[in-house]
Copies of this chain bind each other. A is one copy, B any other.
């Protein structure tokens, strides 16, 4: 272990006045490449970070402002320091690889205020080979019990005017497309242009969200995020475009406070990943390593899986979530008086078609949205008693559907849209989960569209963070798998709650159905941003790319080729993958659908072959417990040649590769559905070169 500590004796001798208050501690990563330096200067805690001698973070502020005038960012002294370390392997319940290595050198510095109330705070640093994390902790102590965090002072002073992929800072939504600029030209007022997002609450003209992806002019890839967001608001960042520094902005609660804590307490980890190779960030497990181990003793109910669902057909307007198509308040008491519009999607009959399709094609689950009463006036009304989560529409026979699904060996997936009315969801959660278990549902997709109730709270504030985690714990108690839509973006908590398989928490494929959609580069950025925190339920697999198929004249479309939709099953890692299109569209292209049938959702190993954020990405993965490999390669709006180095294949054998690639004339806009399927015998060391169309991609299965 390399751990250095300087007491600055020499400096002390020279400049007594300053040095009395200056103490430095350094920690190096196990491979020595990354150096973290903690410096207490004039009572102020600061840190800096280098990668192979290149500056990553210049000296930056740390600390917090607590209520009752307790300043934990100034006037502090070091009362203790101690080294920590780990070098161990652990096995996730599911993941991109079967074994994860946790290797760091760490430091805990204990600080104390020197005037007023004597309060103790600890800073904990852990330095890995691909980055580091630090957090604030308050041990049990006499002078601090319950306390309120007003503000966090953590800063990130950047070493240059990096290129940055960002979305506007916003307390309630992370469904923006990514913008690319330099740090000095970040302009969050661009949030105004995103009128397709129903609820936008930007907080500053220069606010951005994490995971924030940057690239320095000297080729360092830097990612700032957080790990283990528990009992604390999300950290967003405000950019000082002149000083090139980022300052943490904690999402406030209804009365303007950031967090309510009780000692012993700790913040989430602030994480900084860095490498000179983009692919190293994709393979980083630092955020997972900074999360706590699983709390689920018997994870046998947790099953990575693929599913279909009554969902895309509502997004493209083929059917509706609601039953009556009037803005009335239907409840269990008066739903009998509702007149059906004739366009309701989730009818028993239609759901059976999805069940039949799932059974035939080996999709283990069927999601049904719009099955329950409340959808008539669910959206945008800030209505509290919106859904009851147990009463089906008259044309959806809960019992019959579930018997039918059971007879076909298919699992139904429950849908709980809250409409942001979380108080309502919380008071109905137990009842709703009991209903699920009575009908054999093992998984729930939750949703948080719209303004939050409790009114004044935000999607990303402490109250909601606690809610999402509460849902994860409660579903775990009920042995239910969880897929959360519109929550705060993930921070690796799926290690702790492996039943929490996926989140949306970013701009999903759905935007392509009814808005300007997601630009072709979108999916090349997500793995470097949103996916740093955990799997995304992106809902890939749209085969009928253009919406005018349903609505003549419609301009909306998915901004990829069909082949790229296949590639996303590999490049957008998730243990829960939807085949999002409607059965009829898949039945028309059984050869292409074969890839979705085959592709795994849990992996022994992953190989990040090539990547540049915003441009391209090629990833190969080995299916868990099988000698099967799947490769996804995608590009942005530019055509490209994917270079697939098959060195990862075990030596001494040859394999059959099936390549699903863009047709020669394919183009995301002009000709998105042209694809070619080829088979080829390959052996380790072969390098496949596959042409990707503009907005295109390729998927390869190897057996």
Contact = CB atoms under 8 A, between A and B. Distances in A.
Contacts of A146: 377, 381-383
A145 interface: yes
Contacts of A431: 430
A327 interface: yes
B260 A384 contact: yes
Contacts of A329: 262
Contacts of A384: 260, 466
Given A382-B260, A423-B423, A427-B426, A456 B254 contact: yes
A534 B470 CA distance: 38
A451 to B, nearest CB: 9
Interface string A420-433: 00010011011100
Contact of A255 (B426, B430, B455): B455
Given A262-B383, A426-B423, A426-B427, A255 B456 contact: yes
A454 interface: yes
A457 B453 CA distance: 11
Given A262-B329, A423-B426, A455 B383 contact: no
Contacts of A254: 254-255, 454-456
A438 to B, nearest CB: 16
Nearest to A422: B423
Interface residues of A, number: 28
Nearest to A327: B145
Contacts of A429: 427
Interface of A is mostly: loop
Contacts of A427: 426-427, 429, 470
Interface string A376-389: 01000111100000
- The quantity of this chain's copies bound in the complex is 2
Interface in A454-508: 454-457, 463, 466, 470
A381 to B, nearest CB: 4
Contacts of A383: 146, 260, 262
Contacts of A381: 145-146, 262
A429 B457 CA distance: 22
A628 interface: no
Interface in A371-423: 377, 381-384, 423
Interface in A333-382: 377, 381-382
Interface in A213-261: 253-255, 257, 260
A237 B329 CA distance: 32
A22 to B, nearest CB: 36
A454 B455 CA distance: 8
Contacts of A262: 329, 377, 381, 383
A479 to B, nearest CB: 18
A58 to B, nearest CB: 37
A145 B430 CA distance: 30
A40 to B, nearest CB: 30
A146 B429 CA distance: 25
Contacts of A455: 253-255, 257, 454, 456, 463
Nearest to A426: B427
Contacts of A260: 382-384
A125 to B, nearest CB: 27
Contacts of A466: 384
A652 to B, nearest CB: 53
Nearest to A262: B329
8 contacts: A254-B254, A254-B454, A260-B382, A260-B383, A423-B423, A427-B429, A430-B431, A454-B455
